[in-house]
Amino acid sequence: MGTAALALKDLWPCFEGIIPATIATCAKDGTPNISYVSQVHYVDPEHVAISFQFFNKTRKNIAEHPFASVMVLDPRAMQAYRLSLTYERSESSGPLFQAMSLQLQAIASHAGMSDVFRLRAADIYAVRHIERVDGFTSWPVPAQDERPPSLFIDPNLHALRVVAEQLNRAECLGELLETALRCLDEFFGLHHTMLLLVDEKRRTLQTIASHGYDENGVGSEVGFGEGLIGMVAAAKLPLRLSGLDHTLRYARAVRDRAQALSGPEALCREIPLPGLSNASTQIAVPLIIRHRCLGVLVAESLEPLTLLIREEAVMAIVAGHLAAGIEQSAQEADDSVAVEAPAAAAPPVHSPLSHRSFCFYQADDCIFVDGEYLIKNVPGRILWRILKQHQDEHRVEFTNRELRMDSWLGLPELKDNFETRLILLRKRLEQKCPDVRLVPRGRGRFALETSVKIILSEKPA
Amino acid sequence: MIPPAIVDLLQTGVSVNVGTRDKNFMPECTRGWGIWVAANRTTVTLLLTEPASARTLANLRDNGLMAITCSRPTDHVTCQLKGSVTQIRQATPQDYERQQQWRHAFLGELIAVGVPAEQTDALIMQPAVAIEMQVTGVFAQTPGPGAGEQV
């Protein structure tokens, strides 16, 4: 028998359901049984799945004696293969079951039999042995494809598909950004990433999300053309730097710039950019949509030769998804839609403090909390408006719409990036005073939740 | 006795699938190349090839228990016959003549469902071993809720 080192994946054309397979089983009294199965599904290199639709003799036999012999045919040459199987388990939920069930429903629907055909379970079998049936056909055995067969796609491509699906499921911009950075870590091993968005008016990039750093650095800024990140934003081209002197590795230009501006007063209003002080490789790719750069996605690694062209390609694809998502959220109607609060929302924080003192500096729209820099510019004004209305009118719930229409906030009429400013504000609050929170109440609405007394003061210009 | 409807079905170029088991009850499947019903309607003859069905033939010599599922490719009308083998012998010229009739109908069915003729022609059906089986059970096996019921 032609059994020399056959792997299950070599049989990929047999699993396309073109020629029905047969399954032989044996009852506990020794009576053999043979029946058709519509499709044998590839699960992994050691397992196949067979659909369980009806309580039949095969099913009964397998319950009594969990062994089966299955014959599958390669439709390219009518070449037969015999699989020796041992039943392991049945799945009646999960991705494999769903995929098999949908396929069956589609076939049943075609045949007008939707009520009759229903997948009860995906029965998983371990493959003990694979054998090419010799003397079956005089047709030559098809050569193994040089290309990876369509059934067994490149793992990176599969991962990209999963990531794309997860990104498209994100309900709001904040979730989209978090999902992107988490997925880059989970699926592609990019443990340290950050995302900066362009503020076109101020010609800066601001950190809106980060992953894998001790300090999230949200709110930190880099100027256009400054350092790796600023250069990527200005050039609208990806850049990969390896083995550089560490002073060049990431945009510490931020700090230098801050010091150059006006000494310690300015410095204390700068948030340090997140970053690995000893990173050896860095990649930055721009978020481009219709030739505009919306931001920069950055990854860093301590290990040399870990961020290469593959990682750059993955990041470029994810950056494209992010650009589309960010653009869409900027254009989305303001209609507030009540949806369930995201599961990720943290429980209310019980602060050991009794109060928080917020001070608003009118000169530069900057807010300090308990003497520490919190936020400035438009997000600073947004927070001040919310805090004032909370204090003066005891308001708790706010809508994006009302704030967008508030001329004091100084938002541009078009593409105001309100959502990104709110994310920034939310994250700065999480970091600096977690007992004052802006909690989403559905799309376009949020609430101010606090467990402390809020004290407000202003410093005139 | 095999019902007339099943006798008719078996004359229409059905695919022939054979299930057996060894002394440890380990099942084995293979393909048969031709089937016909004896005049008494209680036995069937089918042909197997030695290289493709070595373990099946060993199982039959060991315990003689066999299940045969026959299906018409163009409409999936399917039945299963169960029974015990009464004879295993080399195929005769008369067997090959019957096989030729079945082959003509079977290849016609395969071509009708889209298998290229040059592939159907390449299937190796000879030299064959003839198996005679006393039928003890006939079951409807057309896919669907009624599958498995005794006819």
Instruction: Note the pLDDT tens digit of each residue in B63-87.
Output: 999 999 999 999 889 999 999 999 9
| Residues A448/A391, Cβ–Cβ less than 8 Å | no
CATH code assigned at B14: 2.30.110.10
From the number of C-beta atoms within 10 Å of its C-beta (0-12, 13-18, 19+), residue A459 rates as exposed
- How far apart CA A412 and CA B56 sit, in angstroms, is 80
User: A126 CB near a chain B CB, below 8 Å?
Assistant: no
- Domain membership of residue A23 (yes or no) is yes
Query: What total number of domains does chain A contain?
Result: 3
pLDDT reported for residue A335? 54
Are A82 and A162 within one domain?
Answer: no
Q: Does a structural domain hold residue A168?
A: yes
The phi and psi torsions of A359 (rounded to 5 degrees) equal -125, 130
Distance CA B103, CA B109 (A): 10
- Residue A346: pLDDT band (50, 70, 90) is low
Asked if A224 reaches chain B (Cβ–Cβ under 8 Å), the answer is no
Please tell me if residue B58 touches chain A, with a CB cutoff of 8 Å.
Answer: no
**Digit-coded pLDDT (tens) for A66-102:** 999 999 999 888 899 999 999 999 999 988 888 888 8
Q: Which pLDDT belongs to residue A101? A: 84
Strands A47-52 and A40-44: antiparallel
Smallest CA-to-CA distance from A421 within A432, A433, A410, A436 is with: A410
pLDDT digits (tens, 9 = 90+) for A151-206: 567 888 889 999 999 999 998 888 999 999 999 999 999 999 999 999 888 889 99
Tokens of A25: 């089983």
Q: Is A336 domain-assigned? A: no
A348 in a domain, yes or no? no
Query: Residue B21: inside a domain, yes or no?
Result: yes
Among B52, B65, B68, the residue with its CB nearest the CB of A135 is B52
Q: Which residues of chain A neighbour B80 with C-beta distances below 8 Å? A: 33-35
| Residue B15 placed within a domain | yes
Whether A31 sits inside 8 A of B67 (CB atoms) is yes
Containing structural domain, residue A168:
155-331
Going by pLDDT thresholds of 50, 70 and 90, the confidence category of residue A268 is low
Q: Which two tokens stand for residue A321?
A: 């998804």
Tell me, yes or no, whether A346 lies in a domain: no
The answer to the question of residue B151 being in a domain is: no
* pLDDT on residue A247: 46
Interchain proximity B52–A33, CB inside 8 Å: no
Which residues of chain B make contact with A77, given a CB cutoff of 8 A?
Answer: 119, 122
Report the SS3 class of residue A119: coil
Query: What is the CATH number for A260?
Result: 3.30.450.40
Task: Specify whether the CB–CB gap between A428 and A374 falls below 8 A.
Answer: yes
Q: Are residues A236 and A299 in the same domain?
A: yes
User: Does the beta carbon of A66 lie under 8 angstroms from any beta carbon of chain B?
Assistant: no
B122 touches chain A (CB under 8 A): yes
d(CA B134, CA B74): 28
pLDDT for B97: 97
A268 & A413 share domain: no
Q: Which of A315, A331, A347 is the last residue of a domain?
A: A331
Q: Which residue out of B15, B20, B21 would a mutagenesis test of the A interface target, given it has the greatest number of A Cβ atoms within 10 Å?
A: B21
Specify if B103 maps to a domain: yes
pLDDT (average), residues A111-121: 71
Using the beta-carbon criterion (under 8 Å), do A34 and B29 form an inter-chain contact? Answer: yes
- Residue (of A153, A394, A23) closest to B19 by Cα position: A23
Is position B47 within any domain? yes
Same domain for A169 and A318, yes or no, is yes
pLDDT more than 70, % of chain B:
99
- Among residues A101, A132, A163, which one ends one of the domains? A132
Range of the domain at B30: 4-140
Query: A26 and chain B: CB distance < 8 Å anywhere?
Result: yes
Q: Does residue B150 fall inside a structural domain?
A: no
Residue A147 domain-assigned (yes or no): no
Check residue B39 and give its pLDDT: 93
Residues A270 and A381 in one domain: no
A151: left (phi over 0), alpha (psi -120 to 50) or beta: alpha
Helices A309-331 and A418-432, interaxial angle, to 10°? 110
pLDDT for the residue A83? 97
Same domain flag for A174 and A281: yes
Same domain? For A177 and A312 the reply is: yes
| Residues A222 and A305 both lie in one domain | yes
ipTM of this predicted structure: 0.96
Whether the predicted pLDDT of A228 surpasses 90:
no
d(CA A73, CA A75): 6
Tokens of A151: 């059934």
* CB atoms A71 and B30 under 8 Å: yes
Tokens 């089918």, located at residue: B46
Residues of B in contact with A20 (CB under 8 A): 71
| Amino acid A37: pLDDT | 87
B146 found inside a domain: no
CATH code, domain carrying A394? 1.10.10
Distance (Å, rounded) from C-alpha B102 to C-alpha B105?
A: 5
Report CB contact under 8 Å: B119, A139: yes
A120 is a domain residue: yes
State whether residue A15 is helix, strand or coil: helix
- A231 and A122 in a single domain? The answer is no
Count of structural domains within chain B: 1
| In a domain? residue A405 | yes
Shared-domain flag, residues A200 and A289: yes
Residue A313 and residue A216 in one domain = yes
